[in-house]
Structures are given as structure tokens and as C-alpha cells.
Amino acid sequence: MDTELLSTVLAKRKQPAFRERQILRAAQHEYVSGWEAMTTLPKRLREQLTAEVPFSTVKVDLEERSKDGSVKLRMLTHDGFPLEAVLMRFDQPHAKEGEKQTRYTACLSSQSGCALSCEFCATGKMKLGRNLTQHEIVDQFLELARQRQRVGEGRIDNVVMMGMGEPFHNYDEVIAALRTLNSPDGPGLGARRIAISTVGWVPGIEKLAKEDIQFKLALSLHAPNDNLRGSLMPVNRKFPIERLMQACRFYQDQTKRRIFIEYLMLENVNDQPEHAKELAKLLNDQPGQFHVNLIAYNPTGTDFVGASDETVRRFSAILQRADLETSYRVSRARDISGACGQLAAPIEAAKRAQREDRLARAKAKVADTDNAPTPA
Ligand code: SAH
């Protein structure tokens, strides 16, 4: 919820100092379902809060369930901007007795839409609506967590900022939200269970390197040279690979942590043996500092085709021979367009509503001045 609004209302209602923490703990740690369920609060206060502080800053307007057990929620902000969050379910076939049999990762959005227009990504096609506030980011998590709670399936294990948007275009709000998710009074997720994925926005990487909490960093590289990367990701013109690698070096020097490289496998585009060799050479400039995640392409209505399993195996073998650790990720929730790169929702309507609202307010203001009493 909007915690600033909450503080203001609690002060106005002359509530004791412990109240805010009590409420936030119930909402963010115990995942209670709404104001009416906060039975530890005086009834009158509950009614006041129901009237004055929306329990969530986002409203779920569509829920879709994948065959693989993942769930996608489409939500709207109070001013009508769409965003999506996905709860991915991973069964653990090798879990030992007493260990969790199923793990859940929440994939959250940092923006409604995105300004970066990567060729293979559906969110890029919808352009940027607006940045999300820290409350809207935390509330995506809480909507998913409450849903888990309702079906009695335990807590969420990991968070990835890999939904809509570029997290480092909205740096402060994203970090504030992740600090809340990390806090023991909140969901209490360890920093190592929280990952930020960036298109390669250098100022963000350098800033993250200096934070006092170290979240995991994933870098969407997708190509081993500027020519190819520039044709797939326009952002490469602003921050070419050499500049990116310099930022990675700085991050690794500051944090002593590895960076996860994301590499989308596109047939006959970036999946050939020479690309693998070039990638190995690039990353081995800083030996042991990178882990490569090869990613299957999820259809987004473009002409790209995903590389075959055989090609992925060959590519991966070349990297491993060069001492790079690799893994291959096939996305969850593909059947409900909930997989990487597939999140998109029309923002035109929201933008139009915002324009109309501004216009109506301007008109009301004019009318107001027209009716103002003339000074005597
Ligand atoms: N803006 C951030 C996070 C958004 S998407 C970033 O660029 O990293 C999370 C990941 O999904 C990124 O690695 C992105 O490049 C990848 N992705 C985009 N479109 C995809 C697609 N069609 N199939 C698979 N992954 C895709």
C-alpha cells in the first residue's frame, strides 16, 4: 500500500507510534487479505482505513493459469496503467525428504511498458507507459503472495525483476521496493534470493555496485559483438559492449560477486559456433566472474525462431570447454504469454484516460476562476 498515505492517515487519527509497524507487518509479512482481516486493529480504525487507504496500489484484472502451474496476474495502477507479474512454479524432482518439493519465483515489473525496444521483446513494442512506484512493485509481490496463502501453498522463495520494463530506468523505486521485500518485517527474502535483470544500463550497474545490500545482477547480453548486439538491442548504441564490460569489472571489483549473463538463442542469428567462441573470449577477459544463462526464445510475433536443442547443446559445449559455467533456461508460463519477453498489454487506453483527466482538470480550473467572486 501507499505507506506515506498510511502514515498521514494514522497521524491524523492520532494513532500510537507502534500502529504503523503493526499494520505493515500484518500486510507484508503475514500477508493478511485486507483491512477487514486485520482484527487486531480497533474496529473504528479499520473502517477509517478502509475508507481512506486503498489496501493495494494495484488492482488485479486478469488471472491466467499455465499448464506448468505458473500463474500470471495482469494488474492496473490507480490511473489505469497495465502491468503484469508472474509466479513461476518449479517442481524439485531431486528434493530430499524435509526439503521443499516445489519452489516459487515471483517475476515482477518495474515499469508499465518499456522504452528500450529490443527487437525480440513484446514489452518493447508497447513503449513506455510510466515508471511504477515502489508501492506498486511491492504490491505485485503481495498480490502473488496472498494468492499462495489462499491456496495454502507456502511462501515465495525468489524474486526476479524480469517482468515489464528496465529496472535501472526506475532505479530508486526498484531498490526501495527490493529493500522492503528484503526487510525482516516484510517478506524477509534474503538479498541472494532477489535478482535484477538489466538491458545493460551502465549507470545502474555502477550504482548497484555501491549499494550496501547486494542483490543478484543479471545482464541481458544476447550477442558477443557490437554489430550484432546493436541490430538486436538499440541501447547498444548508447552503451557498447566495451563500456558494458568496464561496468561489469567495476561491479565485480566492488562486490566480489559473479554476474549472470543472459543470452537468448536465436536461430541463425547469434547461435553459431563462432558466436560461442567470441562470447567465451569476451567473458574470459574476467575469468570466473560470469555465469552464462542460455535462454530459449519465446514467441512474440516476430520473425525470430528459437535455436534447436542440438544447436544449444553445441553452443553450450563450446562455452564449457572455455571454462565458462552455463545453464539453459526454458521459460515457464509460455502457454499464457507469461514468459520472458511476452509480457505486453495495451497502454494506449491508460494514456488517453490520463490526457482526458488532465484536460478535464484544466477545464475545471478555468471554470473555477470564471466563477471566482470579484474582489470588492
Ligand atoms: N529490461 C530488463 C528486464 C526485462 S526482460 C532486461 O532487459 O534484462 C527479462 C529477460 O527476458 C531479458 O533478458 C530479456 O532480454 C529477455 N527476453 C526478452 N524477450 C524475450 C523473448 N522473446 N524470449 C525470451 N527471452 C526474452
pLDDT digits (tens, 9 = 90+) for 253-269: 999 999 999 999 999 99
CB atoms within 10 A of CB 91: 10
Domain ranges of the chain: 1-55, 56-358
84 is catalytic: yes
Alpha carbons within 13 angstroms on the beta-carbon side of residue 371 total 6
Contact yes or no for 194/229 (Cβ under 8 A): no
What's the pLDDT tens digit per position in 24-72? 999 999 999 999 999 999 999 999 999 999 999 999 998 988 888 889 9
Cα torsion through 203, 209, 212, 213, rounded to 10: 100
Q: Cβ(120) to ligand 1 under 6 A?
A: yes
Environment class of 219 (CB within 10 Å of its CB; exposed 0-12, middle 13-18, buried 19+):
buried
Is residue 248 annotated as part of the catalytic site, yes or no?
no
Ligand 1 contact, 341 CB (< 6 A) = yes
Mean model confidence pLDDT for the chain = 91
Q: Is any atom of ligand 1 closer than 6 Å to the C-beta of 340?
A: yes
Question: Each residue of 134-186: pLDDT tens digit?
Answer: 999 999 999 999 988 777 777 899 999 999 999 999 999 999 999 999 999 99
Rounded CA-CA distance 288/294 in Å is 17
pTM of the full structure:
0.91
With a 6 Å cutoff on the Cβ, whether 139 touches ligand 1 is no
Closest residue CA from atom 17 of ligand 1: 341
Domain topology for 56-358: TIM Barrel (3.20.20)
195/259 Cα distance (integer angstroms): 10
Distance between first and last Cα of the chain: 47
Provide the CATH number for the domain formed by 1-55 in this structure. 1.10.150
Which of 220, 269, 271, 297 to mutate for ligand 1's pocket (most ligand atoms within 8 Å of CB)?
220
Strand-pair partners of 186: none
Burial, 311: exposed, middle or buried (Cβ in 10 Å; 0-12, 13-18, 19+)?
Answer: middle
Amino acid identity, residue 102?
T
